[in-house]
Amino acid sequence: MLRVALYNTVVFIGAFLLFQVQPMSAKALLPSFGGSYAVWGACMAFFQLVLLAGYALCHGVGRRLEGRVGARIYWYVLVLLLFAYPFPFAAMAEDPGGRWVVFEVIRRLAGTVGPPVLALSMISVMGQRWLSVSDLPGSREPHVLYAASNAGSLCGLLSYPLLFEPLLGLQDQQRVWWLLYMVMLVGCRFILPRQNGVRTPAAGTAPCDTAPERGRPGAWFVLSASGCALLLAVTNVLTLDVASIPFLWVLPLSVYLLSYVVTFKRHPWNPGWLNSLTGWAALAGLLLFLLGTLRLALPVMVAIPVHLAILFTGCLSVNDRLVGVKPSDPARLSGFYLWIAIGGLAGTIAVSWLIPLVTRSFVEYPLALAAVMGSLYLVRLDRDCHPDPRARYEGLTAIVWMALVLAAFRYLPGIVERAGDVQSAVLLVVLAVPVALAFRWALNHARWIVPVMLAVVGSARWMEQRGSGVSMVLEHRNYYGLYRIYDRDGVRFLQHGSTLHGRERMAADTASRPMAYYHPTTPIGSLLQDADRIGNSVGMIGLGTGALTAYLKAPQQIRIYEIDPDNVWIASIYFRSLAGAERNGATLHYIVGDGRLSVRREPPASLDCLVVDAFNSGSIPVHLMTVEAFADYRRVLKPAGLLLMHVSNRVLDLEPVVYRNAQSLGMAVCEQSNAGAVHPDAEESHWMALSADAGTIQSLMHDHGWWMRPVPDAVRPWTDDSIDLMSAVWRAR
């Protein structure tokens, strides 16, 4: 039993290290490559492709590595990889220049962490191969090591943001990483096969599994793809639509990994009562999708656990089915895991890369639920060879139910609205009845459940502006999220995901007066009206609606740094601040790209004022908040120039960090807020001002009432090497 525990330990540590090296690498790349979708998308694609390559190697040459000689060759390769210490993170952080970002990210990852990651991606499958040829009690069930692998991944995922990142700098993190690597290496030496073993088939099974429902690559593929698609769909909904909270993306991934742990362990956990709820969980997901279509939302603290429960139920059923169709011959397990990896990659490509290009809503959520239900129907463990004679009427009945759903969505809202003023909640209740009835019928006739779900999804487009009290102007989706522009009570709003980025009155005589965070009564609005203090050369990171430009006039010019190219045309076409600034004689320049990288390319001492407005949501670009980033800002400012930072945030206390960063660079700093005196057209906002010239800050405090405050000694400055995001979350509670 001790050796079996050692197998589990080695596989656990290998998976733990895999999930640790990914955020470490991304952290090293961030300062030089920025936070664009291309960068983190390339990182995600690289690690998935390397994992796939590792599984492919195990499948292709694994049989040669499971004997005594081959296993030792693999172990010697692991030993040789010690010469990769330390990871050359400094080289990864070099400026990529004009090279293609995606190619350069993948090239640097491949040349630094690539070889160790490839070797580690094989450890789980190789451990199972070695166990299967041993004489240990678990040799007939080597797949249980996959549970240990996912448990290691789960611990690696949770420990990095909660433990390693807050307490250790990047260099210390990799020292711990390599120490654990050596522990794994020693443990691996003791589980290597001692001789060229021969597998003994499990009792009652043939050496080669021939059951028609078992061992089919197509089944492994669709189950894995649907589970991964559901994971990413729920992640998108939670992080881009429900709430903008740091580390929120960790929760769905943790639930996904947990579903693998509990289903692949020696005694799988999937109670019948929970498995029977899968269909109802899919119905709940459909209703939540309709809720969003009608501009309704559950409270955040209710929505998050509900979405996670739907994800867990769906993934548990999918993974339980995967265990049921796994090959009984251990020699075929490597192919099983290879197809799981291929399916996961396909689900990722569909949800993360393709759907955002062709849709304008989070339609991947109901589609992923439909994929889960469809895969469970296609990969059944108890096929009935005697068809029900009533089945010939199912097609006609299904058509009737789908027609009922379509008619309900098309005509019921109009009938209800003619009865008087109606709220979205009423429409939801009215529509939920035919949807629930049709779904209930489909659950008893499984082959029709996917068509019924697709009928509901297709019909939902008729509901977008019903009962919400708003007039939708634009819905636009790209890799950075979902833009919604809508009019209500004479005001136009810009919402990006769950964050309101600005609003503007539509009346011609009030269009030039900024609202919300940029109203004249806010700290930034009051300051920008003082053109002499701001100067003629202004920079701004983060565009939004462009409301800040409404304060500019000739001969002022502004350089706007915006990472999302679509934000530029959205603000230009649907909001009037940018055009108003140009009419006032101001000159506007747009620089599309990561704000920090764009500022770094500007000549020294070229700006009188730099506005950084990128922190008013929970998912902040932390590389814009480090000491090194502040040094980049200071370099482009004139000696008495002003750095203005918008630090309003619901979940992060950023002010102490700004104080500490400024002190590290010898900059003076003060702050201002309009809390307690918020105009009806304004929002409460908090701004901080920094300058290399102490006199500039003293003048702000004297003329505009800005102030300073003491900072707790426990607060540390943020650097590219060390960021303590959890402490900022804790202080904001």
To the nearest whole number, what is the mean pLDDT of the chain? 87
Helix %, strand %, coil % for the chain, to 5? 60, 10, 30
Question: Which of the four pLDDT bands, split at 50, 70 and 90, describes residue 123?
Answer: very high
Say whether both 653 and 710 belong to one domain: yes
637: in domain:
yes
Percentage, residues of the chain above pLDDT 70:
89
pLDDT tens by residue, 397-409 = 878 878 877 777 7
**Beta-strand relationship, 587-592 and 537-541:** unpaired
- Min mean pLDDT across 447-461, 465-479, 561-575, 686-700 is at 465-479
451 contact partners, CB below 8 Å, separation of at least 6: 398, 402
140 and 259 belong to one structural domain = no
For the chain, the farthest-separated pair of C-alpha atoms sits apart, in whole angstroms, at 89
Contact 645, 687 (CB under 8 A): yes
254 and 184, same structural domain? no
Residues 297, 167 within the same domain: no
What pLDDT, on a 0 to 100 scale, did the predictor assign at position 213?
Answer: 42
For residue 601, CA distances in Å to 28, 148, 567, 633, 698 come to: 20, 47, 21, 11, 30
The residue with greater pLDDT, 201 or 708, is 708
Range of the domain at 424: 392-463
Residue 1 lies in a domain: yes
Task: Flag the least confident range among 54-63, 200-209, 256-265, 285-294.
Answer: 200-209
pLDDT tens digits along 591-601: 998 999 999 99
pLDDT above 90 covers what percent of the chain? 54
Same domain, 122 and 81: yes
The yes-or-no verdict on residue 209 having pLDDT over 50 is no
List Cα–Cα distances, 615 to 554, 611, 653, 661, 687, in angstroms. 29, 12, 11, 16, 11
Q: Tokens in use for 471?
A: 């007039």
Is 435 among the domain residues? yes
- Amino acid letter, residue 429: V
Q: Which residues pair with 670 in a beta bridge?
A: 689
Strands ordered across the beta sheet of 637-646: 587-592, 557-562, 537-541, 607-612, 637-646, 686-691, 668-673
Any idea what the CATH number is for the domain that residue 599 is in?
3.40.50.150
Q: How many domains does the chain fold into?
A: 4
Residues 76 and 183 in one domain: yes
725-731 mean pLDDT: 86
Q: In the predicted model, is pLDDT for residue 8 greater than 80?
A: yes
Q: In this predicted structure, what is the pLDDT of residue 204?
A: 44
Q: Whole-angstrom Cα distance, residue 126 to residue 143?
A: 11
| Res 385: pLDDT | 47
458 and 525 share one domain: no
CATH number of domain containing 85: 1.20.1250.20
Cα 77 from Cα 185, distance rounded (Å): 11
Pairwise CA distance, residues 611 & 179, whole Å: 43
Lowest-confidence segment of 82-96, 295-309, 415-429 by average pLDDT: 415-429
Which tens digits make up the pLDDT trace of 163-206? 999 899 999 999 999 999 999 999 999 999 876 655 544 444 44
Lowest average pLDDT, out of 72-76, 125-129, 463-467, 503-507, goes to: 463-467
Residue 506 lies in a domain: no
How far, in Å, CA of 253 to CA of 239, rounded? 12
475 inside domain? no
pLDDT for the residue numbered 70: 87
Mean of the pLDDT values across residues 326-353?
Answer: 92
Do 62 and 188 fall within a single domain?
Answer: yes
Please, which pLDDT band fits residue 713 given cuts at 50, 70 and 90?
A: confident
Let me know whether 245 and 277 are in one domain. yes
Domain-embedded: residue 636: yes
- Of 244-258, 424-438, 483-497, 668-682, give the lowest mean pLDDT range: 424-438
Numbers of helices and strands, H then E, in the chain:
30, 11
Indicate whether 260 and 330 sit together in one domain.
yes
What is the pLDDT confidence band of residue 618, given thresholds at 50, 70 and 90? low
Domain assignment present for 174: yes
Cis? peptide before 86, omega within 30° of 0: yes
Q: From CA 85, how far away is CA 696, in angstroms rounded?
A: 47
Least confident segment among 160-164, 204-208, 254-258, 276-280: 204-208
Q: Say if 317 falls within a structural domain.
A: yes
User: Residue 67's pLDDT band (boundaries 50, 70, 90)?
Assistant: confident
**Shared domain check, 593 and 701:** yes
Q: Are residues 106 and 181 located together in one domain of the fold?
A: yes
